[in-house]
Structure 1
């Protein structure tokens, strides 16, 4: 166990902290937007942090030992990162995932030595992962339960600690808002707890895509809320409110149309030169909504959101015009909103379809 923990910790020492990029908004707005670029982790996404924490948590609890088969339910990126750590420790890894997961993510999981086990219904991943773990005597990592407790929210170079350290010399060093999506709920829990622990005047906004249960569960106070649909935005949005989602540390939530998520991801890639995934688009749309409201109210300040993973993982979905058209997404209308906002500061969303 000591050797395994040392290997996982060594990965953190080798990996330089991720960059915080200033988004090119007009300087005279006096509202600054920053993107925390989590795509530069060794496995290409925000989930690298989570996978490292989950493996450490499982190791020190004695759940994962030499030869243990690790099973995870995932929409892709967490499985990519967990496959990386499993191979580092010489452990078999199986990802239980929806059949709709992007082929690029499937290829990455297999590249890192993992095996993909597909289900037709996204809501079936949990039970199927438990079944496989019981069948082979393995360990179901269960990111959706343990994400919020495996990460040390007090500091220790977690994502919140990193953001505030990197913001220290900016003109608005304490963000007015940090905007994130929810997949497990672990990131919003970590950031929300951290800002309260450090007594920062920062609010946390969680953006939720179409077909996700989080927003309605948050609004009604029902932690058992489920929906019969599934999210088209990989990495965030779930058919149920996950156990790791902590509503008490979230200040607000907002729904983002899928067309807006895709449009914002593509627009972000053009404006910044950094390919962004769909979940980045969801959070970016929410962050720009916040900035529009701040400007309308005459408020100055800063807003931080995440570049969760790279757009190259979605070449056959969000960046494929044929796929977008088949989904019936009016990306052009939402791109017009973004172009106009950057040009003259006017925020006007398209009418709902």
Structure 2
């Protein structure tokens, strides 16, 4: 028995729709920041919040739908499901609407309320679970009832073409081509699903570049603990309020071997750095962008001590407006005994002096 030509025609039309959307989407800006304490070291931040769905996960969501379509897993009229802490779910809901599909996001109940509202505004459904560690099992339950599980945590590192096709690494290096330090000393990113770090790390090797990859993670994250010992069964030693990274377990897409360094960043430092980014760039970005900035400053301080020149590149992962009721709300921070003010002072001194200052 064979499937009819109508089924293949729908798949072709869906892929056409995704490719047209990609062609309409301009590449995101690579913003340059000059910091007074670091002469000879250039800082660049790729503004992934500029995507139509407001985050780095726009690229991933498109890739996951293409992967599901081309592998014969997604069919016309089929429901779609995935587990997400928010930004991926927003992007997946957006693409589901583009393709005329129903989408369910399995999300931790503690997800920023603005993210939940954004998913629902796109016509999708949120299935909220109290235990963040159970989102995978809940998504699989939906899949057992016939939904196509996009499975960002299991498939992110293979759904994106790491050899090119305008992936994020190729885009960054293309935008740097005419800059003074076109081959960066470091690229810094977090490890939510492991997909972005895998794509960047593989591409750097594929292009035979000397650029090193640093993974910026909340202190005590599973990836940070596992990287030190190459333990794929590592679990986080502490919770984090930085959404999107700091996973409680080592996800299947985490590749230890492609990371040259892992920077563990205190949550209060990450939150303070979101405020510093707002001062430097005039707009707000989320907590993982702050984590990236702190790691960049630490690397730059090490370079300065060794009298090295070069460039450091990182990502602005999502819009800060999504965290107005959490990371940018003093009452929310106070209820969790989080005070980023000491870190803000330390980070400002670092920017001015080029020396690392603990809070």
TM range, normalised to the smaller chain? over 0.9
Aligned residue among 237, 240, 243 for 1:234 = 243
Q: Which residue of 2 aligns with 1:67?
A: 77
Cα deviation for residue 207 of structure 1 reads 1.0
Aligned residue among 297, 301, 307 for 1:292 = 301
Aligned residue among 137, 144, 147 for 2:153 = 144
Q: Which residue of 2 aligns with 1:268?
A: 277
Measured in 1, the distance between the counterparts of 2:96 and 2:42 equals: 39
Measured in 2, the distance between the counterparts of 1:228 and 1:129 equals: 25
Over the residues paired in the alignment, what is the CA RMSD in angstroms? 1.2
Measured in 1, the distance between the counterparts of 2:318 and 2:183 equals: 24
Aligned residue among 33, 41, 45 for 1:35 = 45
Cα deviation for residue 28 of structure 1 reads 6.5
Secondary structure, counterpart of 2:325 in structure 1: coil
Cα deviation for residue 24 of structure 1 reads 2.7
- 1:283 touches 1:306 (CA, 8 Å); kept in 2? yes
Cα deviation for residue 211 of structure 1 reads 5.0
- 2:32 touches 2:43 (CA, 8 Å); kept in 1? yes
Measured in 2, the distance between the counterparts of 1:226 and 1:142 equals: 20
Listed one character per residue, the Cα deviations across residues 231-254 of structure 1 (whole Å, up to 9, x for unaligned) are 311111111100011111111112
Measured in 2, the distance between the counterparts of 1:231 and 1:48 equals: 24
Q: Which residue of 2 aligns with 1:96?
A: 106
Measured in 2, the distance between the counterparts of 1:16 and 1:285 equals: 28
Cα deviation for residue 26 of structure 1 reads 2.7
Secondary structure, counterpart of 1:29 in structure 2: coil
Measured in 2, the distance between the counterparts of 1:169 and 1:320 equals: 40
Q: Which residue of 1 aligns with 2:317?
A: 308
Q: Which residue of 1 aligns with 2:199?
A: 190
Count of aligned positions: 349
Listed one character per residue, the Cα deviations across residues 221-272 of structure 1 (whole Å, up to 9, x for unaligned) are 1112223754311111111100011111111112100000100011101221
Measured in 2, the distance between the counterparts of 1:345 and 1:134 equals: 54
169-178 or 229-238, which moves further after superposition? 229-238
Asked if residue 83 in structure 1 is aligned to residue 93 in structure 2, the reply is: yes
Secondary structure, counterpart of 2:19 in structure 1: helix
Asked if residue 212 in structure 1 is aligned to residue 221 in structure 2, the reply is: yes
Listed one character per residue, the Cα deviations across residues 117-145 of structure 1 (whole Å, up to 9, x for unaligned) are 0000100000011012212x111111001
341-350 or 326-335, which moves further after superposition? 341-350
- 2:35 touches 2:352 (CA, 8 Å); kept in 1? no
Asked if residue 164 in structure 1 is aligned to residue 164 in structure 2, the reply is: no
187-196 or 26-35, which moves further after superposition? 26-35
TM-score (norm 2): 0.95
Where does the alignment leave 5 or more consecutive residues of structure 1 unmatched? none
Cα deviation for residue 274 of structure 1 reads 2.2
Where does the alignment leave 5 or more consecutive residues of structure 2 unmatched? 1-10
Provide closer, same or farther for how the CA distance between residues 346 and 27 of structure 1 changes in structure 2, counting only shifts above 3 A. closer
- 2:37 touches 2:350 (CA, 8 Å); kept in 1? no
Runs of 4+ in 1 over 4 A off after TM superposition: none
- 2:188 touches 2:292 (CA, 8 Å); kept in 1? yes
Asked if residue 324 in structure 1 is aligned to residue 340 in structure 2, the reply is: no
Q: Which residue of 2 aligns with 1:176?
A: 185
Measured in 2, the distance between the counterparts of 1:19 and 1:27 equals: 24
- 1:122 touches 1:230 (CA, 8 Å); kept in 2? no
- 1:211 touches 1:239 (CA, 8 Å); kept in 2? no
Q: Which residue of 2 aligns with 1:49?
A: 59
